[in-house]
Structure 1
Amino acid sequence: MREAPECPRAVGSTSCCRNSSARPIPWAPREPTPPSPTWSSTSRPNSTDSASRCRTLSNRTLLGVGYGNVVMASRVVAVVTPASAPMKRLREEAAQRGKLVDATQGRRTRSILVLDDDHVVLSAINPETIASRLEREGLEVGEEA
């Protein structure tokens, strides 16, 4: 039987490889990768319209919608109950468009939050509780900071 070559990583040990007949992998130092060039945009150098809405909002208050999930309070347009047929339709249409966020963690949906960018957030918290949290933050539903 042929003896396996000694592994260069086996310092002070009889074997460092799982399979004793495994060959050591040749190792060679790699060239360092060159630094990437710094990116700069010159498409709209003086435009304030190019900043996203998230960065331009002065009030970035987060609203807890249950189980560690939060939404930006200023983006909430409506908080509704999910029982009616139009709300069920709204939920299905948002799911088809890919704009449904399920924040219920598998619990029963007790409220639906409609955001200003057409996202629909399902929450397991009562609408009254969410409304009181919005009032505590000093915002009315649909009001922007």
Structure 2
Amino acid sequence: MSIKLINIGFGNIVSANRIIAIVSPESAPIKRMIQDARDSGILIDATYGRRTRAVIITDSNHIILSAVQPETVAQRLNNKSSDKVED
């Protein structure tokens, strides 16, 4: 089994196998999801104080905020040259 890792900006890396969705933070339902995750303690803010451009939803119900565009994260997810770790 191989683990594919995706760079989400500023040296932060997420396991691609755990990603369910990559969405834009503009809509009201996504903003509510972010606030609920913050209140529940399952929000991971990887923006380093920058503007949130992508919201990554994982299968463990964690919400990850990234300063990288959703299209860029998706492109890195599909890129074959991403780092792979053999288990």
Q: What's the TM-score, normalizing by structure 2?
A: 0.89
One-letter amino acid of the structure 2 residue matched with residue 121 of structure 1: I
One-letter amino acid of the structure 2 residue matched with residue 107 of structure 1: R
For structure 2, list consecutive stretches of 5 or more residues without a partner in the other structure: 82-87
Q: Distance in 2 between matches of 1:137 and 1:99?
A: 30
Contact 1:61 1:137 in 2 (8 A): no
One-letter amino acid of the structure 1 residue matched with residue 8 of structure 2: V
Return the offset for 1:120.
0.3
Higher strand share: 2
Classify 1:59/1:90 alpha carbon distance in 2 versus 1 (closer, same or farther; 3 Å). same
**Secondary structure in 2 matching 1:60:** strand
Runs (4 or more) in structure 1 with deviation over 3 Å come to none
When Rg is computed on C-alpha atoms for both structures, the one with the higher figure is 1
- Mapping of residues 44-83 of structure 1, within 5 Å: 58-83=1-26
Q: Distance in 2 between matches of 1:95 and 1:87?
A: 12
Match of 1:112 in 2: 55
Q: Distance in 2 between matches of 1:107 and 1:127?
A: 15
Q: Distance in 2 between matches of 1:135 and 1:62?
A: 11
Higher helix share: 2
Q: Distance in 1 between matches of 2:69 and 2:46?
A: 13
What fraction of aligned residue pairs are identical, expressed as a percent?
46
Match of 2:72 in 1: 129
> Which fold has the larger relative contact order, with Cα–Cα distance below 8 Å and residues 6 or more apart in sequence?
2
Q: Distance in 1 between matches of 2:63 and 2:47?
A: 12
For structure 1, list consecutive stretches of 5 or more residues without a partner in the other structure: 1-57, 139-145
Q: What's the TM-score, normalizing by structure 1?
A: 0.54
